[in-house]
């Protein structure tokens, strides 16, 4: 069994999850990477590519393919981590999906609503419940146990063209709060990270739209966020740099949270 801390990252195969996994690997965490699939022979994308990068950084990696929306798979995901590393010190709830299509809130479909909530909120909630039950009874490891929820500025900011996404992130934000409250007595810190406009596969279809809005002043720092920006913040939380701040919410939005005239 390795003496390194172990982080379980959902949605680790691309985008923000990939950035988080690599940042944690740089900080000497072994990584259990979850995504929908693991194609071992395709080392250019997905979990296999992330695995190679993690190993280049000197950390170990265990793929844990599975759909967090399927609650019956959660125990298997936990057992994948335990079989490989014997423990989980940090859980990062990052996996998320966008609406099936951007449309006015008056046209939101039940199919899109249910899909987004199933992954972004329901899946993350019950995965956290399952992992937390184990982490409470686990012997103390190299770092203090922690759980990080990756929500979004959309937890508070209205986007009427993707209402179900905003609702799912607001639910995830409240999940972070109630788990922080409940798990504090067990020594598990819980945090929420709210990214703003981040350059990922999910935002490619709206790049031109957000390029214009960023140029127009929507983001005071006048740039897109990168997965690495989120990764560095999660790594600081996982290391324990904010050990006396359970329930902390960190917004990474280039200043979109600033109220100004």
Domain assignment present for residue 135? The answer is yes
For residue 100, is it within any domain? yes
Band of residue 261 on the pLDDT scale cut at 50, 70, 90: confident
pLDDT tier for residue 209 given thresholds of 50, 70 and 90: very high
Is 260 part of a structural domain of the chain?
no
Q: What is the mean pLDDT of residues 79-95?
A: 98
Rounded Cα gap, residues 230 and 246, in angstroms: 18
Q: How many domains does the chain contain in total? A: 1
pLDDT at residue 2, rounded to an integer: 65
pLDDT tens track for 2-48: 689 999 999 999 999 999 999 999 999 999 999 999 999 888 999 99
pLDDT at 1 over 70: no
Give yes or no: 38 in active site.
Answer: no
Task: Identify whether 259 is part of a domain.
Answer: no
**Residue 85 near residue 133 (C-beta atoms within 8 A):** no
Does residue 248 register a pLDDT over 90? yes
Does residue 70 register a pLDDT over 60? yes
Q: Residues 215-240: what's their mean pLDDT?
A: 98
Sheet with 6-9, side-by-side order of all strands: 61-63, 30-33, 6-9, 90-93, 146-150, 189-195, 249-252
Residue 33 located in a structural domain: yes
Residue 213 lies in a domain: yes
32 DSSP β-pair partners: 8, 62
In a domain, 49, yes or no: yes
Whether the pLDDT of residue 81 is over 90: the answer is yes
Active-site position among 165, 191, 210, 244: 165
pTM above 0.85, yes or no: yes
Q: Average pLDDT, whole number, for the chain?
A: 97
The CATH number linked to 187 is 3.40.50.720
Alpha carbon distance 68, 123 (integer Å): 5
Please, which pLDDT band fits residue 236 given cuts at 50, 70 and 90?
very high
Q: Give pLDDT tens digits for 145-190.
A: 999 999 999 999 999 999 999 999 999 999 999 999 999 999 999 9
Average pLDDT over residues 47-54: 98
257 assigned to some structural domain:
no
Is the C-alpha dihedral spanning 230, 233, 238, 244 positive or negative? negative
SS3 105: helix
Supply the range of the domain harboring residue 136.
6-252
- Phi/psi for 234 (5° steps) reads -65, -40
pLDDT at 55: 98
Q: Which tokens in the block code for residue 186? A: 């067990």
Q: Which helix (H) or strand (E) holds 249?
A: strand 249-252
Task: Look up tokens 């508070």; give the residue.
Answer: 156
């Amino acid at each position: 069994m390795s003496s390194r801390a172990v982080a379980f990252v959902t949605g680790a195969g691309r985008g923000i999850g990939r950035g988080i996994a690599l940042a944690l690997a740089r900080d000497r965490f072994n990584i259990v990477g979850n995504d929908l699939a693991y194609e071992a022979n395709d080392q250019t994308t997905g979990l296999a590519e992330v695995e190679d990068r993690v190993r280049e950084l000197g950390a170990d990696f265990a793929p844990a393919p599975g759909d967090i929306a399927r609650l019956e798979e959660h125990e298997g995901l936990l057992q994948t981590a335990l079989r490989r590393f014997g423990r989980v010190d940090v859980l990062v709830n990052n996996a998320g999906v966008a609406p099936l299509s951007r449309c006015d809130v008056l046209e939101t479909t039940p199919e899109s609503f249910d899909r987004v909530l199933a992954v972004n909120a329901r899946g993350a909630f019950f995965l956290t419940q399952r992992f937390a039950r184990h982490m409470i009874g686990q012997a103390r490891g190299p770092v203090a146990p922690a759980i990080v929820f990756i929500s979004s500025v959309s937890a508070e900011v209205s986007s009427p063209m993707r209402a179900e996404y905003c609702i799912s992130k607001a639910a995830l934000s409240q999940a972070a709060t109630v788990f922080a409250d409940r798990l504090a007595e067990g020594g598990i810190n819980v945090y929420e990270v709210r990214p703003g406009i981040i350059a990922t596969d999910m935002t490619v279809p709206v790049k031109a739209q957000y390029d214009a809005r960023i140029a127009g002043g929507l983001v005071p720092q006048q740039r897109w966020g990168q997965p690495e920006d989120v990764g560095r913040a999660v790594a600081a939380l996982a290391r324990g740099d904010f050990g006396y701040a359970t329930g902390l919410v960190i917004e990474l939005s280039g200043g979109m949270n600033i109220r100004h005239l």
